[in-house]
Chain A
Amino acid sequence: MMGLRQVPAVLLSLFAAVTTTVAPIRFEDGRAPQFVTRTGRTARKYLPQTMGGGVAVFDYNNDGLLDIYVVNGATMPGLLKDGPQYSDRLFRNNGDGNFTDVTNMAGVAGQGFNIGVAIGDYDNDGFEDIFVAGVHRNTLYHNNGDGTFTDLTERAGLAGPDPQYGTLWAVGASWLDYDRDGLLDLFVVNYVQWDPKTEPVCEKRGLPDFCYPRAYQGVPNSLFHNNGDGTFTDVSPVSGIRQSIGKGMAVAAADFDGDDWPDLFVTNDTLPNSLFLNQRNGTFKEAAIENGIGFTENGAAISGMGADARDIDDDGRPDIFETALLNETMPLFRNLGQVGFEEITFASGVARASRAKTGWSNGIYDFNNDGHKDLFAACGHVMDAEGSLRATVPQTNIIFANLGNLNFADVTAAVGVALARRGVHRGAAFGDLDNDGRVDVVLTELDGPLRILRNVSPAANHWLLIRTIGAKSNRDGIGTRIRLVTEDGVQYNDVGTSVGYASSSDVRVHFGLGRRTLVEELELFWPSGTHQVLKNVKADQVLTVLER
């Protein structure tokens, strides 16, 4: 396979020279389906109540339109969905800006208190399947291809309790083909040891509130190998994943060390981040410290929340954008290759505006199609609205425009009134809901309505959406790295659905092309090792690429 590092220097310099005038980013509220993320609100506070809100955008019926799946809470402390208000929901995109609730027909109403969701076609049948991460219960829905799903959790071998920790509390997951055998494996992010019977009582200024993570013991994450027959094997111990105990919040899969094998970055709550480097033999090595990404510059382990890994400076190496708690800033790590990561939170301009926010789900997307990937974070404080932080709990979301040269500007105020609204935001899924080439955002709020932020940025810039269909590789093409060349220079992006916190985004890869209407060269580096090159691709289309 050709090395992705072999980028002609002249192209890089050309791209760096692109004008730094920021194309406007505009969002407005779209017509979101009626849905409220329920937390099972009680006088006493139970930790899962502040943690839910996972959302996915994916095309479950292959009609070319992104549908929405959103998970929901349950009664507390019973963890029961004892009424329709707690149902997880699947909304079919009608293509006219409206959505139809197809939950019951699809059979995905769910059970228990669910937190996160991950989308992937694990059996390569051409239909996207759903993995739901929840409190003491995960669910694998197999897409039957006829608008219905079947819960195959037991049969797949994903239902059993952990032999050491019992039933685990998962908050998110990522589908990835870590052994590059053409089948999507499953990495599950587990949070803490939690039992409603032993939930500690915490208060702030005499009012009940959620306890800090230090009140709970950490747990390892889980890695399940896809056996190719509809079942999975828990390879957490043999892969080395289980050796690291954390308080996992989110995972970003990408080839961080440039060896063409997918690695994993995991954020932990009040513990150092984890970086699991793929050893190419079925095992992973935890190497966050040696790569400079365990801690931020202040030396303390932050409350790591969401994570997305994409190449913000288009040097061929995926960088990392992480969200964190109020006043911790939202760390931005630049991948320097063999040397490790460099934290550029302050230098990039992200620190200042992000300090005032508690970020959850986040994404690195080019919202104004100018050829530079921007940053979005869904925000809302952890603590309860009735507690001492009344004024700071609901927060506005935040958008940073990429000015190029690793500089970012907080443009939230200029984006439109839709961004001025405060809420206790949690989940955020990114995808082009109306196929107009502009990346939209679907947001959840705790005990608040589902929201769609429709991207209405002025359409002068051009774009390309790429849907990869694997043949030797997994059918979604997850893990495929894409290099795109226009007259303006080179861009990189990866195929993946696990983005941000507890959420799953459009599997299609989006590129903003600025003024360019032609992609001179499009290179795909498939997980199978296939290297595919397309020439002279027209802009402004959804391009399906079959692996050949």
Chain B
Amino acid sequence: MKLQTALALAGALFAATDSDSRPQPHRTAQNEQTEREAAKHQLRQVLEHDPNNKEALFQLARVTVEEGDFASADALFQKYLAISPAEPGAWAYLLRCAVGQNDPKGAANAQRQIELLAPTNLAVQAQAACWLAGSGISEVTGREFELVMSLARSQTSSEGLWYSRLGQCYEHAHDPSRATRAFQAAVDLDPSTETNYFRLAHLFAREGLVGDASEVMAGAVKHFPHSVTTRVEAGDIELEAGNPERALEQQQRAATLNPRSPGVLLLLGRIQLAQRRYPEAIVTLERAAKLAAADAGIQFYAGQAWMKTEHGTERALEHFKRSLALDLNRASTYYWLGSLYFHRYQEYRVAVQYLEQAVDRAPELEAAHQMLIQAYKRLGEDAKAAGELRRYQEIIQQKAKAEAAK
């Protein structure tokens, strides 16, 4: 397999990692499965005629990885590497298989081979680090993150993308320290990409490093003084950091650039929500919803604002349902719909349907677990309530372990 192929594959898989944090167009699991089966069938046919066909072996192994069958994929990659042992991309996939099987020895061996064969190949090294992030195996392999960071010095601005993605992997793995360094490298390498600043600033804000977050966004504003997006993000960061007054300053500057921007109005509505100025938030968000009826976020916040009023239940329901139709992946929309059916209508069966979706999509959403347990109990489904409680307790224990490890 050519190095370019490995890069392309790594890129594709990185994109898959990204999908954890970004809403994706709805694609049914059934469609995906059908496509995979067809691909596997074709690849097997090729291999029947030519068992050592490298490309077919590689692609079949890759599809098998995507299916999560790491043991089978491992065997296929081993076969591939027996034919072509100097392929760092294949070693990277083998590392993925080892991580998937919780095999520290296999992962350490694959990591050694990657280092040996492609010590300066940023894409492969970054992908390996990404797969190892948060796996628990990284303690065995050890050096992968530092190795990727050491490559930053020799990169051009276009490689900032890899560091941004690496940062996302470590952020997803609850390792803010490494995520910060990766995001910072992305900003340093490529200061002309707005999103690099946003990711770093959001991370700082979430970690409570309010000053650092503001500083990063000040840098972004300096680079993009006429960007509404940057101003809105800067406001968003301030809001996340618990500074609605400063968020409002940014929002007002964004409004001077484009007063009719739905994003600008959404930020204002969110600020008003944070300041608990609910009637004003309703007016703002309804205006934004008129301008951008297909924006799931605006519909969601409009629903939230209506929920805060005494007689806003029906309107809240409308907005939440519209938001859900536009974005099926937002866990919080499922939560609020569940909450609404639970508390306002006492329709526990309907509430359960939404709450199950909420906890599946965001297991860390503690309040959703609480309500789901209660809804099961109200329906007399005690076994389900007990099961959900166990699931919640496991999540809390994992969270506590991760906190302790930090």
Give me the interface of A with B, judged by CB distance under 8 Å.
Answer: 204-205, 212, 214-215, 272, 288-290, 292, 294-295, 297-300, 326-327, 338-340, 342-343, 346, 351-352, 388
Contact of B242 among A214, A338, A342 (CB under 8 A): A214
B276 touches A299 (CB 8 A): no
A-B contact pairs, 24 of them (CB 8 A): A214-B208, A214-B242, A289-B366, A290-B370, A290-B373, A290-B392, A292-B371, A294-B367, A295-B370, A297-B339, A298-B307, A298-B339, A299-B336, A299-B365, A299-B368, A327-B308, A338-B377, A339-B377, A340-B373, A342-B374, A343-B343, A346-B343, A351-B310, A388-B245
Q: Evaluate whether A295 and B344 lie within 8 angstroms (CB atoms) in the complex, with A214-B208, A327-B276, A340-B377 already known.
A: no
The verdict on B389 contacting chain A, using a C-beta distance below 8 Å, is yes
Whole-angstrom CA separation of A88 from B392 in the bound complex:
45
What is the minimal beta-carbon distance from B298 to any residue of chain A, in angstroms?
A: 19
Segment 363-406 of B: residues with Cβ below 8 Å from A: 365-371, 373-374, 377-378, 385, 389, 392
A321 to chain B, nearest CB (A): 17
Q: How far is the CA of A342 from the CA of B342 in the complex (A)?
A: 10
B183 at the interface (CB under 8 A from A): no
Contact at A294–B242, with CB atoms within 8 Å?
Answer: no
Interface membership of B77, Cβ < 8 A: no
> In the complex the two chains form, is B377's CB within 8 Å of A297's CB?
no
Tell me, in angstroms, the Cα distance from A201 to B307 when the chains sit together. 34
List 12 additional contacts besides A339-B374, A352-B310; criterion CB under 8 Å. Answer: A214-B242, A289-B373, A290-B389, A292-B374, A294-B370, A297-B339, A297-B371, A327-B278, A340-B377, A342-B374, A343-B343, A351-B310
CA distance A270 to B378 in the complex (A): 27
Across the interface, name the chain A residue whose C-beta is closest to B275.
A327
**A339 — which chain B residues lie within 8 A by C-beta?**
374, 377-378
Complex Cα–Cα for A342 and B369 (A):
15
| CA A214 to CA B208, docked complex, whole Å | 8
Cα separation A388 to B245 with both chains bound (whole Å): 10
Number of interface residues of B (CB under 8 A): 29
Partner of B339, one of A214, A294, A299: A299
CB distance from B270 to the nearest CB of A (A): 14
Docked Cα-Cα span, A515 to B276, in Å, equals 44
Interface of B (DSSP majority class): helix
| CA of A339 to CA of B342, assembled, Å | 14
Chain A nearest CB from B205 CB (Å) reads 11
Cβ contact within 8 Å between A292 and B367: no
The residues of A that contact B335 with a CB separation of less than 8 Å are: 299
Separation of A295 and B335 alpha carbons in the complex (Å)? 13
Q: Are A205 and B367 in contact (CB under 8 A)?
A: no
A67 to B259 Cα, complex, angstroms? 62
A340 to B372 Cα, complex, angstroms: 12
With A294-B367, A294-B370, A339-B377 as known contacts, state yes or no: A204 contacts B343, CB within 8 Å: no
Nearest A residue to B340 by beta-carbon distance? A297
- Report B-chain residues with C-beta under 8 Å of the C-beta of A214: 208, 242
Closest to B358 in A: A299
Residues of A within 8 A of B373 (CB): 289-290, 292, 340
* CB closest chain-B residue, reference A344: B343
Residues of B within 8 A of A346 (CB): 310, 343-344
- Contact A295 B367, CB 8 Å, known A340-B377, A346-B343, A352-B310: yes
Question: Which residues of chain B are near A212, meaning CB under 8 Å?
Answer: 242
CA distance A389 to B377 in the complex (A): 42
Enumerate chain B residues within 8 angstroms of A388, measured Cβ to Cβ. 245
Taking the nearest CB of chain B, how far is it from the CB of A132, in angstroms?
A: 32
Q: Which residues of B contact A205 (CB under 8 A)?
A: 245
Please measure, in the bound complex, the distance between the C-alpha atom of A388 and the C-alpha atom of B246, giving whole angstroms: 13
Query: Taking CB as reference atom, which chain B residue is nearest A296?
Result: B367
**Residue in B278, B332, B343 whose Cβ sees the most chain A Cβ within 10 Å:** B343
A297 and B310 in contact, given A292-B374, A339-B374, A339-B378 (Cβ under 8 angstroms): no
A-B interface, 3 closest residue pairs, ranked by CB to CB distance from nearest = A327-B276, A299-B367, A295-B367
Cα–Cα distance between A60 and B368 once the two chains are bound (Å):
47
Give the CA-CA distance A464 to B276 in the complex, in Å.
43
Residues of A within 8 A of B339 (CB): 297-299
Q: How far is the CA of A346 from the CA of B344 in the complex (A)?
A: 8
- A295 to chain B: which residues have CB within 8 Å? 366-367, 370-371
Q: Shortest Cβ distance from A119 into chain B, in angstroms?
A: 34
Q: In the assembled complex, which residues on chain A have CB atoms less than 8 Å from the CB atom of B208?
A: 214-215
Report B320-370 residues with CB < 8 Å from chain A CB: 332, 335-336, 339, 342-344, 365-370
> In the complex, are the beta carbons of A204 and B245 less than 8 A apart?
yes
Question: What's the Cα separation between A215 and B374 when bound, in Å?
Answer: 32
| A297 surroundings in chain B (CB, below 8 A) | 339, 342-343, 371
Q: How far is the CA of A294 from the CA of B308 in the complex (A)?
A: 19
Q: Within the complex, what minimum Cβ distance (angstroms) separates A279 from chain B? A: 16
Give Cα distance in the complex from A338 to B344, angstroms. 22
Across the interface, A326 reaches (CB within 8 A) one of B276, B308, B366, B392, namely B276
203-254 of chain B: CB within 8 A of chain A: 208, 242, 245
Give chain B residues whose Cβ lies under 8 Å from the Cβ of A342. 374
Q: Which residue of B lies closest to A356 (CB)?
A: B276
Name the residue in B278, B308, B367, B377 with the highest tally of chain A Cβ atoms < 10 Å from its Cβ: B367
Q: How far is the CA of A338 from the CA of B382 in the complex (A)?
A: 11
In the bound assembly, the distance between CA atoms of A297 and B338 in angstroms comes to 10
Tell me, rounded to whole Å, the shortest Cβ–Cβ distance linking A327 to chain B: 3
How distant is B372 from chain A, measured CB to nearest CB, in Å? 10
Cα-based distance from A57 to B111 in the complex (angstroms): 70
Residue of A nearest to B313 (CB): A346
Bound: A216/B70 CA distance, A = 44
Q: Which residues of B contact A288 (CB under 8 A)?
A: 370
Whole-angstrom distance between the Cβ of B18 and the nearest chain A Cβ: 27
Write out the residue numbers on chain A whose beta carbons fall within 8 Å of the beta carbon of B332. Answer: 299
Q: When chains A and B are docked, how far (Å) is the Cα of A295 from the Cα of B366?
A: 9
Residues of the A chain whose Cβ atoms lie less than 8 Å from the Cβ of B378: 339
Given contacts A290-B389, A343-B343, contact A300 B374 (CB under 8 A): no
- Do A300 and B276 form a contact, CB below 8 Å, given A212-B242, A214-B208? no
Residues of A within 8 A of B342 (CB): 297
Q: How far is the CB of B396 from chain A (nearest CB, A)?
A: 9
Write out the residue numbers on chain A whose beta carbons fall within 8 Å of the beta carbon of B276.
326-327
Residue of A nearest to B388 (CB): A290
Q: How far is the CB of A129 from chain B (nearest CB, A)?
A: 37
Nearest CB in chain B to that of A272: its residue: B366
| CB-defined contacts of B371 to chain A, threshold 8 Å | 292, 295, 297, 299
B370: A residues at CB distance < 8 A: 288-290, 292, 294-295
How long is the Cα–Cα vector from A351 to B307 in the complex, in angstroms? Answer: 12
Point out the residues of chain A lying under 8 angstroms from B245, CB to CB: 204-205, 388
Q: Collect the chain A residues with CB atoms within 8 Å of residue B367's CB.
A: 272, 294-295, 299-300
